[in-house]
Amino acid sequence: MNDVEYLKSLLGVYPDFPKKGVVFQDFIPIMRDPVAFETLITHFMHHITSHTLRNSQSSKIDVVVGLDARGFLLGPILALRLGAAFVPVRKQGKLPGKCTTASFEKEYGTDSFEMQSDSIKPGQTVVVIDDLIATGGSAKAAGELVAKQGGKTIEYLFVIGLPFLNGHEKLDAPSYSMIQASD
Ligand SMILES: O=P(O)(O)OC[C@H]1O[C@H](OP(=O)(O)OP(=O)(O)O)[C@H](O)[C@@H]1O
Ligand SMILES: Nc1ncnc2[nH]cnc12
């Protein structure tokens, strides 16, 4: 079993959560096992250094943007290892000060995201990270917030992708999902 197959075997899979018809994919069990969690972070770091930077012809990542809520469990770790800033994208009404807002539709509802307006400087290189891409609505809205501040998203990173929903087609930059869920 390779690393990705091993991480996939640890996922929690919950049919009909949070509503009927959705098969909820839970990556949290990976975090209960320090060796597995380190494997996940190391895999992302290897991907970023050997693919993301090379393919985008960028020398470094300036900012890691993490999405509310589970992107917050991954983004700061990657940001520290990359020597990059961490910027949170939060659900509307949670961040103080002047904010930029983008609305989106999700697999199970609608929502709005916000980013503090002075978070990203024009021209900075950005990766956006979240636990999972479903319809791609959340990641697309995050990408819009980055673009509004003049940042350049070079890749969207996810632990889990739901390829049958084609979420990556909504995005303005390449995406990488470590694990493909089949339902
Ligand atoms: O690709 P999409 O269709 O936009 O869906 C993906 C989003 O849905 C989940 O978050 P959720 O909405 O459950 O919010 P939470 O992280 O606050 O639980 C997941 O963590 C992603 O952020
Ligand atoms: N199937 C799913 N599992 C976990 N989080 C999700 N967010 C949207 N769809 C999801």
Ligand 2 atom closest to the Cα of residue 181 is 1
Could you tell me the pTM of the whole model? 0.97
134 close to ligand 2 (CB < 6 Angstrom) = yes
Parallel, antiparallel, or unpaired: how do β-strands 109-116 and 99-106 relate? antiparallel
Q: Cβ neighbours of residue 20 under 8 Å, at least 6 residues apart?
A: none
Phi-psi region of 3 (alpha: psi -120 to 50; beta: other; left: phi over 0): alpha
Higher pLDDT residue, 179 or 109? Answer: 179
Tens digits of residue pLDDT in 113-128? 999 999 999 999 999 9
Least confident of 45-49, 102-106, 108-112, 129-133: 108-112
Other CB atoms closer than 10 Å to residue 133's CB: what's the count?
Answer: 29
Q: With cut-offs at 50, 70 and 90, classify the pLDDT of residue 107.
A: low
CA-based nearest residue to 61, from 75, 42, 73 = 75
- Domains of the chain (ranges plus CATH)? 3-180 (3.40.50.2020)
CA of 135 to the centre of ligand 1 (A): 9
Mean pLDDT computed over 139-158: 98
Tell whether the model's pLDDT for residue 158 goes beyond 90: yes
User: What percentage of the chain exceeds 90 in pLDDT?
Assistant: 95
CB 7 within 8 A of CB 36: yes
154 close to ligand 2 (CB < 6 Angstrom) = no
Ligand 2 atom closest to the Cα of residue 131 is 5
Nearest CA to ligand 2 atom 10: 24
Mean pLDDT computed over 154-166: 97
